[in-house]
Amino acid sequence: MEKIPIKDDSEKQLFDALKEACDGIEFSSFEVGVSSESLETKYKIRQKSIDFVKSTFKSKHDSENFESYILVHFDRGFIEVTPTNVLVEGFYNKFSRDIAQTFHYCFKCRGRGCKKCNKTGKLSEESVQELIEKITLPLFESKESKFHGCGREDKDVLMLGKGRLFVIELVEPKKRSIDLKNLEEEINSKNKNKISVRGLKFVEKQRVVEIKNTPFEKIYSAKCLCSEISQKELETLINKKIKIFQRTPVRVEKRRADKKREKTAKILKAKLINEKEFSLEILSSHGLYIKEFISGDEKRTEPSISSMLGKECVCKELDVLEIVI
């Protein structure tokens, strides 16, 4: 945040600097810290600052649950005010196969721009995070956001059903009293056929930990390709609960620990589209890589749809139908 100078040691200058530093920032509670070599000065300045901010901004002093932290660097002659982050929880749907969940720099050029990323410097031209940010950052007067999802889907995977649980964390916002229903409507109206959000509400930091650490089953719809297949062969897969041992897939091994994990899946539906294409509806445990469960991923996933059918199969198209919450 901006450093507001204290021009001299007078009480008036302290109060003027406090007012300038806090103006334009919404907060109903605050804490004050003072940096000074003199303990006596530190105590005196802190108490004067608390009294002034309480009366001027009609705000409560709370040393544990504060919305703004006011730091008076008395010996160095300036004041900084840092608003605490605001967290908004909701569900999102994604209707495009060209939108990632979060912003990521291009792995090749690391943001500089290259042929691989079409000079954008990003892995994906758009992301759920950025589409929500475009509306939320100006409203909250926040400089950036952190996006916390209940898992993630690949860029080319649709997120349907009731949506995926997420928390967007607005960093150091100057505004806090935002009407979330209006925010929801604005995000949805400006992102038709791309994303939608619902159920927006303010939450505490602990909610991020809960979302990250809670496993959820998922229902997927997968369109698959095979050399040749029949409906009779597909019906051998239906309603079997399958125990799967899956080693970290080749496509993500550079950014994920190479481990073998035990997962489960159940094929709810299997339908022939034509002699070389079929669709599956799969109920899977948390963290199962579905594309690799279909292909086998060079036998890193066992068993797989390919091994159970005795034919090489690949996932052509994948959608998340529902996250079972």
Q: CATH number, domain at 8?
A: 3.30.2130.30
Q: Are residues 150 and 40 in the same domain?
A: no
Q: Are residues 111 and 163 in the same domain?
A: yes
**Number of structural domains the chain divides into:** 3
Q: Are residues 10 and 101 in the same domain?
A: no
* Environment class of 232 (CB within 10 Å of its CB; exposed 0-12, middle 13-18, buried 19+): exposed
The candidate with the shortest Cα–Cα distance to 83, out of 72, 73, 96, 70, is 70
DSSP string, 106-159: -TTTTTS--TTTTTSSBSSSEEHHHHHHHHHHHHHT-SEEEEEESS---TTSEE
What is the model's pLDDT at position 117?
A: 61
CATH number at residue 269: 3.30.70.3190
278: enclosing H helix or E strand: strand 277-284
- Point out the domain boundary residue: 196, 213, 230: 213
Q: Are residues 146 and 49 in the same domain?
A: no
Peptide bond into 5 cis (omega under 30): no
Which residues form the domain of 54?
Answer: 4-83
CATH number at residue 196: 3.30.70.2510
* Residues with active-site annotation: 154
Residue whose tokens read 């916390």: 148
Mind listing the pLDDT tens digit of every residue in the chain (325 residues)?
Answer: 789 998 877 899 999 999 999 999 999 999 999 999 999 999 999 999 999 999 999 999 999 999 999 999 999 999 999 999 999 999 999 999 999 999 876 666 666 677 666 766 666 789 999 999 999 999 999 999 999 999 999 999 999 999 999 999 999 999 999 999 999 999 999 999 999 999 999 999 999 999 998 999 999 999 999 999 999 999 999 998 999 999 999 988 777 788 999 999 999 999 999 999 999 999 999 999 999 999 999 999 999 999 999 999 999 999 999 999 8
- Point out the domain boundary residue: 53, 83, 113: 83
Q: Are residues 96 and 181 in the same domain?
A: yes
| Alpha carbon distance 286, 240 (integer Å) | 18
- Point out the domain boundary residue: 83, 103, 132: 83
The candidate with the shortest Cα–Cα distance to 196, out of 136, 148, 249, 128, is 128
Residue whose tokens read 């950014």: 255
Q: Are residues 41 and 92 in the same domain?
A: no
Q: Are residues 150 and 235 in the same domain?
A: no
Q: Are residues 229 and 310 in the same domain?
A: yes
Q: Are residues 199 and 94 in the same domain?
A: yes
Q: Are residues 195 and 76 in the same domain?
A: no
| Alpha carbon distance 289, 299 (integer Å) | 13
DSSP string, 222-270: EEEEESS--HHHHHTTBT-EEEEEEEPPGGGTTTS---EEEEEEEEEEE
Largest CA distance in the chain: 88
Q: Are residues 130 and 156 in the same domain?
A: yes
The phi, psi pair for 280, rounded to 5°, reads: -130, 145
State the pairing for strand pair 29-35/60-61. parallel
Q: Are residues 103 and 135 in the same domain?
A: yes
